[in-house]
């Protein structure tokens, strides 16, 4: 059963190109009862999915719910080139085994969002490896350098006098060819992919197909609220992370960023989110809505029970300032001279260097058994277990021993 829901289809999108065509296409599909092919490409590396990826996955899921088929393309060929969008240069080719392993990891994760019944996973080496040189030339002939330079990042780099390697021009062409090989009706991607997706249209036309529709989603900002979410920047929330981590990280995003997350990662209906927005504008505490969002995310990637427990622990920790203290103690050997506090912190793994410890002591961040340490020269001798804390998040149990370890 295929149905058509334009508001859900268009929800949160950056652009739909060309809007009228896509509208007609999906409306007609619903009438004719014929499922359309929705394509989205993914990198063969980085199999750790995070909330940023789910923006796209959520959209794909929406199409599945409407009855269409999603082609989950793993770009094992294009991955060797490396999309020039970032700074990445040519990547080294992954072995077939590595690709298979990464793909397995994908499959283990994507079905937390996608419907396995309506998902087809494909690899683009299948047709790109088979492409003859003359076919590559034909592809290359389909676009001019000027056209390539329309792409924003190419244009910028060119103007700034930064290098652009020839093979980087091939990337969009190959990605576009994927759409030809799949006879895609619609391609969904991040807004940074716009140019590549449009190349797909042009190529399909050149190969006598109906050009695919293009739908772009905004890039989700990471925890810092500035850079886009990515594992390498360390500002991500992984869907496999433990409940407490996920919960805490969502609570740490700014009030402003929260709305972005509501739009792009929450599955609350648009009307509900608008309602929340109004309530906050009228004076409701944004914290409560952030708690709700955190709970939704944890429930989705773990379960309801875990999300409630995470919420409870969050409350204990930050509202009541009770700390999680049931970790394994660290044993540290102390010799005759005793152990200076800064060294203690360092060896307990709470600080990166003694200097950092010294600074934190000066800032009043260090507590031992709930007493603030103000004297950086204090020295510890062997003792029973101590509870050592730096700031609100770093905490350790420490046992100072006299004998050899």
Partner RNA sequence: GGAGGGAUAGCCAAGCGGUCAACGGCAGCAGACUGUAAAUCUGCCGGCUCAGCCUUCGGGGGUUCGAAUCCUCCUCCCUCCA
Helix then strand then coil, in percent of the chain rounded to 5, is 50, 15, 35
CB contact at 8 A, 216 and 189:
yes
> Residues 18, 86, 225, 329: which binds RNA (CB under 7 A)?
225
Q: Residue 66: CB partners within 8 Å, gap ≥ 6?
A: 2, 3, 4, 5, 8, 9, 26, 30
Cα 3–chain centre separation:
30
Q: Please report whether residue 249 would count as binding RNA according to CB under 7 A.
A: yes
Nearer to RNA, 163 or 271 (CB): 163
CB contact at 8 A, 44 and 102:
yes
Q: Please report whether residue 316 would count as binding RNA according to CB under 7 A.
A: no
3-state secondary structure of 44: coil
Least distance to RNA, CB of residue 233, Å: 8
Q: Which segment (22-30, 102-110, 193-201, 221-229) binds RNA by CB under 7 A?
A: 221-229
* Residues 152-181 contacting RNA, CB under 7 A: 161-164
Residues 154, 160, 164, 168, Cα dihedral to 10°: -20
> Residues 173, 197, 199, 253: which binds RNA (CB under 7 A)?
253
Q: Please report whether residue 358 would count as binding RNA according to CB under 7 A.
A: yes
Q: Whose CA is closest to 110, among 223, 251, 240, 269? A: 240
Q: Which segment (60-68, 136-144, 211-219, 316-324) binds RNA by CB under 7 A?
A: 316-324
Q: Please report whether residue 353 would count as binding RNA according to CB under 7 A.
A: yes
Alpha helices in 234-285 (DSSP H): 243-251, 255-264, 270-281
Q: Please report whether residue 346 would count as binding RNA according to CB under 7 A.
A: yes
Q: Please report whether residue 365 would count as binding RNA according to CB under 7 A.
A: yes
3-state secondary structure of 120: strand
Q: Whose CA is closest to 239, among 154, 284, 299? A: 299
Least distance to RNA, CB of residue 387, Å: 15
Q: Please report whether residue 203 would count as binding RNA according to CB under 7 A.
A: no
CB contact at 8 A, 357 and 321:
no
Q: Which segment (63-71, 185-193, 210-218, 337-345) binds RNA by CB under 7 A?
A: 337-345
Q: Please report whether residue 314 would count as binding RNA according to CB under 7 A.
A: yes
Q: Please report whether residue 90 would count as binding RNA according to CB under 7 A.
A: no
Binding site for RNA (CB under 7 A): 161-164, 223-226, 235, 244, 248-249, 251-256, 285-287, 290, 314, 317-319, 340, 342-343, 346, 352-360, 363-365, 376-377, 390-394
């Amino acid at each position: 059963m295929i149905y058509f829901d334009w508001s859900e289809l268009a929800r949160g999108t950056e652009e739909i190109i060309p809007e009228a065509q896509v509208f007609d296409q999906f409306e007609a599909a619903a009438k004719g009862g014929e499922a359309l092919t929705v394509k989205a490409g993914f990198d063969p590396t980085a199999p750790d999915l995070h909330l940023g990826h789910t923006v796209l996955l959520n959209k794909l899921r929406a199409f599945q719910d409407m009855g269409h088929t999603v082609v989950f393309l793993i770009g094992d060929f294009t991955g060797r080139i490396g999309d020039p969008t970032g700074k990445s240069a040519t990547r080294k080719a992954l072995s077939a085994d590595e690709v298979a392993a990464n793909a397995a990891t994908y499959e283990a994760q994507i079905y937390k969002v996608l419907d396995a019944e309506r998902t087809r996973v494909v690899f683009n080496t299948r047709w790109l490896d088979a492409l003859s040189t003359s076919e590559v030339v034909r592809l290359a002939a389909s676009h001019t350098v000027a056209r390539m330079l329309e792409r924003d990042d190419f244009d910028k780099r060119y103007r700034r006098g930064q290098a652009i390697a020839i093979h980087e021009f091939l990337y969009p062409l190959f990605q576009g060819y994927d759409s030809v090989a799949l006879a895609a009706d619609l391609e969904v991607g991040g807004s940074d992919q716009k140019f590549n997706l449009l190349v797909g249209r042009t190529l399909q036309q050149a190969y006598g197909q109906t050009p695919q529709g293009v739908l772009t989603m905004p890039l989700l900002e990471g925890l810092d609220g500035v850079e886009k979410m990515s594992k390498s920047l360390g500002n991500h929330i992984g869907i496999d992370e433990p409940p407490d981590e996920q919960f805490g990280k969502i609570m740490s995003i700014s009030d402003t960023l929260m709305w972005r997350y509501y739009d792009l990662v929450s599955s609350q209906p648009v009307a509900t989110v608008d309602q929340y927005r109004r309530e906050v504008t009228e004076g409701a505490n944004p914290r409560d809505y952030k708690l709700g969002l955190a709970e939704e995310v944890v429930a989705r990637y773990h379960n309801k029970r875990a999300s409630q427990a995470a919420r409870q622990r969050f409350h204990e920790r930050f509202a009541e300032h009770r700390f999680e203290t049931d970790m394994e103690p660290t044993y540290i050997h102390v010799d005759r001279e005793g152990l200076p506090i800064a060294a203690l912190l360092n060896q307990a793994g709470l600080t990166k260097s003694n200097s950092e410890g010294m600074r934190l002591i000066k800032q009043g961040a260090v507590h031992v058994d709930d007493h603030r340490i103000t004297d950086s020269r204090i020295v510890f001798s062997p003792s029973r277990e101590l509870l050592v804390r730096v700031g609100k998040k770093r905490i350790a149990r420490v046992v100072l021993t006299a004998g050899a370890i």
